[in-house]
Structure 1
Amino acid sequence: MFGKKKKEIDEDFVKTEITKIDDDDVDVVMRNQEEIADKIINSNMLKKYTELGKVMYGMLKDYRKGIYTQVPWFTIATIAFAFLYILNPFDIVPDFIPGLGYIDDFAVLTFGLRFIESDLHNYLDWKLEHAEAEEAT
């Protein structure tokens, strides 16, 4: 997924890489949920995304189960790409570099969230409606 050539993290880079994501990548993300969550929680820079990460994983799970289907593939691919990027310790700025290692992860996650913000809101609305419907029965 990540070439050796040093690249600049910008919106074009993120969009281009998102288009390369497939179902197998989503499977990798789902199998590594705990490891990705740990990296987010244990990084001071990414910690503020802990709750959003949970929502994103919830959306992926519900999508994979087939119970939430009103989401564009681009959104699913964006979530998968962002999580795969965080999972990869040897990305553009390796995670083991103190103070700098998570800057690129933060940038990828931030750009990705910009692309899918309205879809996350729609998902949260659906979750609330779904929960209310279950309570009513």
Structure 2
Amino acid sequence: MFSKKKKEVNEEYFKEGVVSVDEGDVELAAESQEEVADKIINSGMLKKYTEIGKLMYAMLNDYRKGIYKDIPWFTIAAIAFSFLYILNPLDVVPDFIPGLGYIDDFAIITFAIRFIESDIHKYLDYKLEETK
């Protein structure tokens, strides 16, 4: 999924990555929830995305279980791609580089949220209605 040809994390890179996601990637992202959560929480730069990350995982899991189906494939793929990218320690900017290692992870999750923001709001509305 991660091409070494592209060396710049930008919107085009994000879209190309999302388009390459398949059901296996979604399963892998879902199974890696704990590792992704740990990485988000333990990296200063990504920590502010802790709650939205939980929400994105809830969307992903409800989709996989067939509970929530009103969600475009692009949104599911964007969530999976973002989480798998965050998990990859040797992405465009390796995570072990102090001070810089999470900049690309931050960019990827920011792109994801920007592209799927309306679906996140729809999911929140759905969850609110579900609790009534």
Is this a same-fold pair by TM over 0.5? Answer: yes
| Alpha-carbon distance between aligned partners in 1 of 2:48 and 2:40, rounded to the nearest angstrom | 8
| Alpha-carbon distance between aligned partners in 1 of 2:6 and 2:34, rounded to the nearest angstrom | 28
Aligned to 1:30: 30
Please tell me the residue identity of whatever aligns with 1:84: L
Aligned to 2:55: 55
CA deviation map 1:39-66 (0-9, x unaligned): 0000000000000000000000110110
Question: Larger deviation: 19-28 or 4-13?
Answer: 4-13
**1:80 matched to 2:80:** yes
Matches within 5 A, 1:1-137: 1-132=1-132
Q: Which has the larger radius of gyration?
A: 1
Distance 1:16 1:6, change over 3 A: closer
Runs of 4 or more above 6 Å deviation: none
User: Where do 5+ consecutive residues of structure 1 fail to align?
Assistant: 133-137
Aligned to 1:135: none
Contact 2:6 2:13 in 1 (8 A): no
Please tell me the residue identity of whatever aligns with 1:3: S
CA deviation map 1:55-82 (0-9, x unaligned): 0000001101101000000000000000
Shift of residue 12 of structure 1?
1.1
RMSD across aligned positions (CA): 0.7
Shift of residue 6 of structure 1?
4.3
| Alpha-carbon distance between aligned partners in 1 of 2:82 and 2:6, rounded to the nearest angstrom | 18
Q: Percent identity?
A: 67
Please tell me the residue identity of whatever aligns with 1:127: K
Q: How many residues align?
A: 132
User: Where do 5+ consecutive residues of structure 2 fail to align?
Assistant: none
Distance 1:88 1:125, change over 3 A: same
Contact 2:29 2:84 in 1 (8 A): yes
| Alpha-carbon distance between aligned partners in 1 of 2:73 and 2:96, rounded to the nearest angstrom | 32
